[in-house]
Chains A and B, each alone.
Chain A
Amino acid sequence: MGLFERLTGMEYLKFVGRMYGLDTATTQHRSEELLEFMQLADRPKSMIADYSHGMQKKLALAAAVIHGPRILFLDEPFEGVDALAAGALKSLLGRMTERGVTIFLTSHVLEIVERLCSHVAIINKAALSPKVLSKNFARVSPAKRAANLHSKKFFFLRRSKRHGTRSVGELSWLT
């Protein structure tokens, strides 16, 4: 996953935050908040090498958002992730989209696509399929969806409305 395995989660986030140009205090504050949100704060001395796959995924996502990006590209973010970790990831992605972040993500899992995305496109044989590109996935007929399930990769993005963002107490710095 490209993480430094002999660092703790906190050390890794601090390093990434500083490399993004955040000051020390901001990096420290956000690292603590992200670890808490991702339920990784209860093992402060554990090295990343000792994390489960799901924990590593959560940490990687935390590192990707520590500087408050406006656009995010994720490749199979839910692959190999347990249900609890997937819940945390979805929750974080949901918060980000509520705040106006645009997220591109790929998945082979139709259920995730349906639940999370506002815009859907399907890539077939390395090309974007023009017939099934849809602004509203629900409009695609079930038969067409089923026909595209096999050996095709779902590519979709979610884009939230800029207005009407909710106030969320924690992670308030995310955009």
Chain B
Amino acid sequence: MADVNAPPGLLEQIRLIAGLRWRILRNGLRKKNNRADLIA
């Protein structure tokens, strides 16, 4: 069997997506151009 017990609940999914969006934003700001875009 695949090792999936149960899919994460709604709150857990929201938390994971929030974490994902935060990491994407944070990693995006590692580039100068993106930092300038955000400030602008």
Contacts and interface: CB of A to CB of B under 8 A. Distances in A.
Interface string A138-163: 00000000000000000000000000
B5 interface: yes
A15 B16 contact: yes
Contacts of A70: 1-2
Contacts of A74: none
A73 interface: no
Q: How large is the interface on B (under 10, 10 to 19, 20 to 34, 35 or more residues)?
A: 10 to 19
B35 interface: no
Nearest to B26: A6
A31 to B, nearest CB: 14
Interface stretch (A19-27, A87-95, A108-116): A19-27
Contacts, number: 45
Contact of A8 (B7, B20, B27): B27
Contacts of B20: 4, 7, 15
A21 B4 contact: yes
Contacts of A7: 20, 23-24, 27
Interface of B: 1-8, 12-13, 16, 19-20, 23-24, 27-28, 30
Interface of A: 4, 6-8, 11, 15, 18-22, 26, 47, 67-70, 173
